[in-house]
Structure 1
Amino acid sequence: MPALGTSGVVPIGDREVHYCADGQGPVTVFFESGLGRSRNTWAAVQPQVARFARTITYDRAGHGRSDSRAEPCTLEELTADHLAVRRAVVDGPCVVVGHSYGGPIVRAGALVEPADVSGVVLVDEVSELCDRLVYGNGMMGSGAFYRAQVVLAKLRLLPSFLTRTHYRTLTSSNPVEDPDELMREIRSEEGSGRGARTALREWQGFTASMRRFHASGPWIPRVPMTTISPTRVPEDKRHLDYIAQSHDETARLACDCRHVFAHTSGHYIQLSEPDTVVNEIRALVDASCTVA
């Protein structure tokens, strides 16, 4: 059995998308990973959430155990897959959680098919409301980073790179049932050339997708939301953090949205400070149960 629950697949055309289901309860928490990452990016959060809700994590096409896709990796295509999986595996109210590029995906999905979405949690999302991300130089170096991952995969160095960077906090101190098994899966799945090539394809579709998303927005679901930012700069200099400023704008435009700052300064809040993410998810799950 893969980590993060019981494995299943959702057929989409001639390919299959892999997901893991765990936990139980009237509310489902549906996780969407950031650009270039598999379901395992939620490994420190999902086991805790499964104690009070049903959870779904899944691998986007070309990542983890999901088949690759022939179509371009645009935001529109990624959202279509997100909705196809959500439609297939969610029955009842759902809190959707998106990290980084997963933020726009879950927000778009919540607006396109809003009936089952009772809450949204955004974890340091990249937002179309941030002009420097969409039209400026807010992600300089990202293209080189994703191309470098392809090279590292060819040299068989990517598994070690990932476990020493993005996943370095996943140790026995984290709430993971079998951290050794999880690390083996991360090294095997995310350290592969296929995963690295898919991450690069997602990046290559990022800027044009975000510009279309910006032109057609704002994409703000009309449900309770939380947006979580890392503490990249001291509180008196937060006006300099243009990504956090876009999170402020999301909260301003929403009908009911909390903007929370984590203590960590890193982008992967769900790995370095999972309790903060879990607590915000729990609050929206509890609110969903009260309404139901």
Structure 2
Amino acid sequence: MDLADGPGRILRYEQSRWSEMSRSGIVRRGVRRGGSGVRGGILGPAGILVAAALLGTACSASATHSSLSADASTPAATSFARMVDIGQGRKMYLECHGSGSPTVILVPGLVAAADTWRYVRGSAGAMKASSSAVYPGVGRFTRVCSYDRPGTAREGGKFTPSTSVPQPTTPRGDVADLHTLLSTAKVPGPYVLVGWSAGGPIVRIYAGEYPHDVSGLVLVDAETEFLQSRLTPGQFATFLALERKDDKKRIAQWKDVERQDPVTVFRQVRAAPPVPKVPVVVLTGDEFDPRAFRARLPAGAPADYPQVFWRAQLASQGDLARTFPGARHVTKTRSDHNIQNNQPQLVIDAVREVVEKARRQESGRPSAS
């Protein structure tokens, strides 16, 4: 759920595809940080926050990528950024740096590319590449990688070089792609998977299908099937109409842009094998701009829908956290859906916590609670 509201901006519909607006994405520069809501804020779940999730861009990413080594053939490579041939005539962009185990895999939200983890939002609201961002921050204490799914876009609006595929895609298909990508590029496990927005269902299904490869999860305002159960059928129908509206805007900008059907996403998550017993941290956005969200609603939506949606979003995040016994749920984040850009240190600290617990468990020592 991302939308593009201006050159290089994508309206990410992640969390409810609710309001990812803030990510850089399709949201106009005039929209304030908390204005979007889920998947962008309110747009959609992993795309679920509609507002602003953004497009994840790569304004400065291209320069950064070109400076890295193109040799990703061996796990020993300190840093690389390149296209990886995953077979069947397809290639996907992958970047890794740092050293140590477990390897952290950063999974972006809907339409967002790998570079979303390199950006922070400054005091004036502008997105900028920064050494304090999640990707470089995590790389200071362990190996970290991220990638571009097909149909995603980078900060600044540049479309990913990852080979296009028919849209919409599904979380299970994305899991298969990620597994093939990591195997082909010889990225060593085990993995701590970090899923933002629409990346949430991907990492949860991956952990269920490949339990021996995963040693921890961090869910960053992740899209969750519990949103549907927290809304009445009529309210959920409004949510789906909002997603379709955003899809049309994104398609007008990028013909092969990433899309997902929330009903299919939620069904596949419910049907997936359970996540193994690993350390989990759930981060939930706590800022929401009902006026910005209301402006994105389809005609005929109830006047109180922004408030209804926000209550359901927060409740669904609590439901998600309770799915994992012992998980730590951070609800005071001072951020909208785009926590990785607004409060990168929160994400870095959560990843470090899970990595350290995974290391203790791997060494046979009890994990601190």
> Which TM bucket (shorter chain)?
0.7 to 0.9
> Which residue of structure 2 lines up, in the alignment, with residue 83 of structure 1?
179
Once residues 84 and 34 of structure 1 are traced to their aligned partners in structure 2, the CA distance between those partners, rounded to angstroms, is: 19
1:266 aligns with 2:336: yes
CA pair 125-24 structure 1, distance change in 2 beyond 3 A: same
1:213 offset after TM fit, Å? 2.2
Match of 1:32 among 100, 103, 107: 107
Q: Which moved more, 1:45-54 or 1:216-225?
A: 216-225
CA pair 247-269 structure 1, distance change in 2 beyond 3 A: same
Once residues 134 and 112 of structure 1 are traced to their aligned partners in structure 2, the CA distance between those partners, rounded to angstroms, is: 31
Once residues 271 and 213 of structure 2 are traced to their aligned partners in structure 1, the CA distance between those partners, rounded to angstroms, is: 23
Once residues 147 and 22 of structure 1 are traced to their aligned partners in structure 2, the CA distance between those partners, rounded to angstroms, is: 36
1:140 offset after TM fit, Å? 5.0
CA pair 134-213 structure 1, distance change in 2 beyond 3 A: farther
Where does 1:19-58 land on structure 2 (aligned, <5 Å)?
Answer: 19-43=94-118, 44-58=133-147
Residues 27 and 95 in structure 1, CA contact (< 8 A), matched pair in contact too: yes
Residues 216 and 280 in structure 2, CA contact (< 8 A), matched pair in contact too: yes
> Which residue of structure 2 lines up, in the alignment, with residue 100 of structure 1?
197
Q: Which moved more, 1:245-254 or 1:21-30?
A: 245-254
Once residues 231 and 276 of structure 2 are traced to their aligned partners in structure 1, the CA distance between those partners, rounded to angstroms, is: 21
AA paired with 2:163?
A: D
Once residues 36 and 208 of structure 1 are traced to their aligned partners in structure 2, the CA distance between those partners, rounded to angstroms, is: 18
State the TM-score, normalizing by the size of structure 2. Answer: 0.60
Once residues 308 and 344 of structure 2 are traced to their aligned partners in structure 1, the CA distance between those partners, rounded to angstroms, is: 22
Structure 2's unaligned 5+ residue stretches are 1-63, 69-78, 119-132, 153-159, 289-306, 363-369
Once residues 268 and 201 of structure 2 are traced to their aligned partners in structure 1, the CA distance between those partners, rounded to angstroms, is: 8
Say what the alpha-carbon RMSD is for the aligned residues. Answer: 2.7
> Which residue of structure 2 lines up, in the alignment, with residue 146 of structure 1?
247
> Which residue of structure 1 lines up, in the alignment, with residue 271 of structure 2?
216
Where does 1:131-280 land on structure 2 (aligned, <5 Å)?
Answer: 131=228, 132=230, 136=236, 137-138=238-239, 141-151=242-252, 153=253, 193=254, 197-199=256-258, 202=259, 205-213=260-268, 215-216=270-271, 219-232=274-287, 241-280=311-350
Residues 32 and 106 in structure 1, CA contact (< 8 A), matched pair in contact too: yes
1:240 offset after TM fit, Å? 5.9
Identity over aligned residues, as a percent?
30
Once residues 134 and 24 of structure 1 are traced to their aligned partners in structure 2, the CA distance between those partners, rounded to angstroms, is: 47
Aligned residue for 1:222, secondary structure, equals: coil
1:17 aligns with 2:113: no
- Superposed CA offset, 1:114-149 (max 9, x none): 112110000001101222579513465233223223
1:7 aligns with 2:108: no
Aligned residue for 2:65, secondary structure, equals: coil
AA paired with 2:257?
A: T
Residues 285 and 334 in structure 2, CA contact (< 8 A), matched pair in contact too: yes
Q: Which moved more, 1:10-19 or 1:269-278?
A: 10-19
Once residues 250 and 54 of structure 1 are traced to their aligned partners in structure 2, the CA distance between those partners, rounded to angstroms, is: 27
Identify the structure with the greater helix proportion: 1
Where does 1:98-137 land on structure 2 (aligned, <5 Å)?
Answer: 98-131=195-228, 132=230, 136=236, 137=238
1:47 offset after TM fit, Å? 0.6
CA pair 103-219 structure 1, distance change in 2 beyond 3 A: farther
Residues 281 and 350 in structure 2, CA contact (< 8 A), matched pair in contact too: yes
Higher relative contact order (CA 8 A, sep 6+): 1
Structure 1's unaligned 5+ residue stretches are 154-192
Once residues 270 and 351 of structure 2 are traced to their aligned partners in structure 1, the CA distance between those partners, rounded to angstroms, is: 30
Once residues 339 and 232 of structure 2 are traced to their aligned partners in structure 1, the CA distance between those partners, rounded to angstroms, is: 22
- Superposed CA offset, 1:74-125 (max 9, x none): 2221121122223334323210000001000000000001112110000001
Aligned residue for 2:348, secondary structure, equals: helix
Aligned residue for 1:284, secondary structure, equals: helix
CA pair 2-289 structure 1, distance change in 2 beyond 3 A: same
